[in-house]
Structure 1
Amino acid sequence: MKTLEASIGRRGFLAGSLVFGNLLRAALPSAPNPSANFPTDPRRRLSVSTYPFRSLIKTRQRNSENANAKLTLAEFAASIPDRFQVSGIEPWSLHFESTGLQYVQALGESFKKAGVHVVDIPVDASVQPCSPDSARRQASLETWRAWVDVAVAIGSPSIRVHLPETGADDCIAGGLKQLVDYAIQKSIVVNLENDDPKSEEAFRVVKVIEQVNSPFLRALPDFCNSRIVGDEAYNYRALTAMFAHAYNISHVKDEEADDGKVLKVDVARVFAIAKKAGYRGYFSMEWEGQGDPYDGTKRLIQQSLDNLS
């Protein structure tokens, strides 16, 4: 899931978020550790990611992939309980029509009315926290912080951000430390995913997390992304390392397409890794297979229930 948020121009994004951020900066009581109250019922631990439905859900910038999209994020969310029999949603940042307070609050109310709750927000934003330009560094930090404010307003326990493609690890860790310091004030966890095979290789993600050394910077283990980097044995080693640092969110997949190849993963084995690590958080269905995303998501839900029950 490595699509930059071109649809959110920096100036428009920050202007739309300014009032929103100021209203939310009356800090919530900070906590030394995250304190989410996770459900134990298997079905309640499951969530539907909106990312696999990107050809069906509108974004602010149309492209060839979503040219025929007709659903709003709120409309898709309303279909989740009946269609998938789960109550969790993981809304992709590009599916938000706005980051303004009025829209986000209205969206949150529509989620409540539909009976769904947010488990994480995957944020795809173009940031340069290690730019030589101080203005760009500050704008990057403000972009990240604005999504923390969105998470607070909509009731998400976390956001997921990308490791920047450029910059030394020490610089990147420093930028993330500034973000995490802000997120701690709002009791929001920041997650890093084993996503982009070049910049977000699992063991690099773990290295950065350990360097920042905060309980509010955690790992988001994706079941299959590391298969793009290595074989099945490598994938399981990577997931073992990631789940050791996971807190509230993991992406369930049974396959991944890469350069015309279909890469498979043993879902039961990954659930066993999560269990051994003592992971108690949510599992979000992020289907990436061939065919219909509704059918693929339903299949992942059933596999998850089989392994959690």
Structure 2
Amino acid sequence: MIQGPRGVSPAKTPAIAALPRRRFLQTVAASAAAVALPRQAWATSAVTPFKISLAEWSLHTAIRAGDLDNLDFPRVAREEFDIEAVEYVSVFFKDKARDATYLTDLDTRCRDHGVQSLLIMVDGEGDLGDPSDDARGKAVENHLRWLEAAKRLGCHSIRVNAKSQGSYAEQLALAADGLGRLGQLAQTFGLNVLVENHGGLSSNGAWLAGVMRRVGMANVGTLPDFGNFRLNGWDEPKEVWYDRYQGVTELMPFAKAVSAKSHEFNDQGLEVRTDYERMMKIVLNAGYRGYVGIEWEGEKPGEYEGVRLTKRLLERIRDELA
């Protein structure tokens, strides 16, 4: 459960004290039920296993080509795909994190199209597991503006990376330190800090789960990605992969968001690299009932059709599991 602002005691809230006994008990019961669920699960229906969101990276080619602007992302999510929730990428509005006018405009566009902002995927702000204490502190400081932006947009989290250097144990300790510092800062905003398996040791499910246990904070969790389990560098010719099903299984106990990465589909509408039905059973068996974010990263077909194919597959599985 995300902690609220320090010094605020729910037991001393005057509005609760003034309620009639019957309504008071109903309020307590409702509050207890909400506390028992992750924030992102509150909006999901009791009869719907999960809802579908759209990660902005799915349209990165169009954005980088200038064919789509970050401000139009919520409209496109709704009008092109009928998707009600979005996940931003910081690099697409990296100079606007503290631009109140810009963020208000973006939030207004979300509201106009009935779209919910879920999280911001933050990259390029320094290594939270840097061996240098000063550099780790600077990386935490660099993420502050994205916490501010996420709060303004009504997100529940920012997604960060756990990049580090050194041995297995050294990197675990360093990443846990940086994430713990950032998690404490995020608590003051009522936000989560989520780590994605994103290359290197972060793509080792056991290692990242160990980082989560080392941090031990309710608002520091994971964002399991179905596809990012390559352990070595992306420019290295020999690929070394961690088992994606094992990795997602290991990360789901700490998950507050999920990324349904897709690359290629066959004639039956199935994703070629990932058994989506198997993966979604892992996700749901872990008790997760939040949004599952489409993240198309393939080359053929184009981005818009790739998103549609991924959504269609997730809807088919959702209907079968409902």
Partner residue in 2 for 1:20: none
Residue aligned with 1:83, SS:
helix
On the 8 A contact 2:156/2:191 being kept in 1, the answer is yes
Structure 1 length as normaliser, TM-score? Answer: 0.78
1:288–1:128 Cα change, 3 Å: closer
Residue aligned with 1:99, SS:
coil
Choose which of 224, 229, 241 in structure 2 pairs with 1:230: 241
Q: How big is each residue's C-alpha offset from its partner over 1:76-106, in whole Å with a ceiling of 9 and x where there is no partner?
A: 3212112101111111111125112332222
On the 8 A contact 2:263/2:298 being kept in 1, the answer is yes
Partner residue in 1 for 2:310: 300
Structure 2 length as normaliser, TM-score? Answer: 0.75
Q: How big is each residue's C-alpha offset from its partner over 1:28-85, in whole Å with a ceiling of 9 and x where there is no partner?
A: 969998544231265981111111211211xxxxxxxx3x323211113212112101
Partner residue in 2 for 1:102: 101
On the 8 A contact 1:48/1:285 being kept in 2, the answer is yes
Partner residue in 2 for 1:5: none
User: CA–CA distance in 2 between the matches of 1:192 and 1:285?
Assistant: 17
1:213 aligns with 2:216: yes
Shift of 1:284: 0.5
Give the counterpart letter for 1:306 in structure 2.
R
Give the counterpart letter for 2:60 in structure 1.
R
Give the counterpart letter for 1:230 in structure 2.
W
Shift of 1:125: 2.3
Q: In structure 1, list runs of 5 or more residues that go unmatched.
A: 1-25, 58-65, 257-261
User: CA–CA distance in 2 between the matches of 1:195 and 1:281?
Assistant: 21
C-alpha RMSD of the superposition: 2.8
Give the counterpart letter for 2:278 in structure 1.
R
Residue aligned with 2:86, SS:
strand
Partner residue in 2 for 1:150: 149
Choose which of 168, 173, 178 in structure 1 pairs with 2:176: 173
User: CA–CA distance in 2 between the matches of 1:166 and 1:35?
Assistant: 33
1:99–1:243 Cα change, 3 Å: same
Partner residue in 2 for 1:11: none
Which consecutive aligned stretches of 4+ in structure 1 deviate over 6 angstroms post-superposition? Answer: 30-33
On the 8 A contact 1:123/1:147 being kept in 2, the answer is yes
Partner residue in 2 for 1:14: none
Give the counterpart letter for 2:241 in structure 1.
G
Give the counterpart letter for 1:305 in structure 2.
E
On the 8 A contact 1:42/1:305 being kept in 2, the answer is no
**How many corresponding residue pairs?**
268
Partner residue in 1 for 2:259: 251
- Calculate percent identity across the aligned residue pairs: 25
On the 8 A contact 2:84/2:115 being kept in 1, the answer is yes
Give the counterpart letter for 1:55 in structure 2.
T
1:44–1:116 Cα change, 3 Å: farther
Alignment of 1:49-128 (within 5 A): 49-57=55-63, 66=64, 68-96=65-93, 97-100=95-98, 101-128=100-127
On the 8 A contact 1:74/1:111 being kept in 2, the answer is no
Q: How big is each residue's C-alpha offset from its partner over 1:134-182, in whole Å with a ceiling of 9 and x where there is no partner?
A: 6534321111222111110001101110002336321221111111011
Shift of 1:129: 4.2
Partner residue in 2 for 1:140: 139
1:35–1:82 Cα change, 3 Å: closer
1:196–1:132 Cα change, 3 Å: closer
Q: Comparing 44-53 with 146-155, which one deviates more in the overlay? A: 44-53
On the 8 A contact 1:47/1:86 being kept in 2, the answer is yes
Q: How big is each residue's C-alpha offset from its partner over 1:188-228, in whole Å with a ceiling of 9 and x where there is no partner?
A: 11111112144442222111011101111111111122266
Give the counterpart letter for 2:185 in structure 1.
Y
1:114–1:161 Cα change, 3 Å: same
Give the counterpart letter for 2:58 in structure 1.
P
Q: Larger Rg: 1 or 2?
A: 2
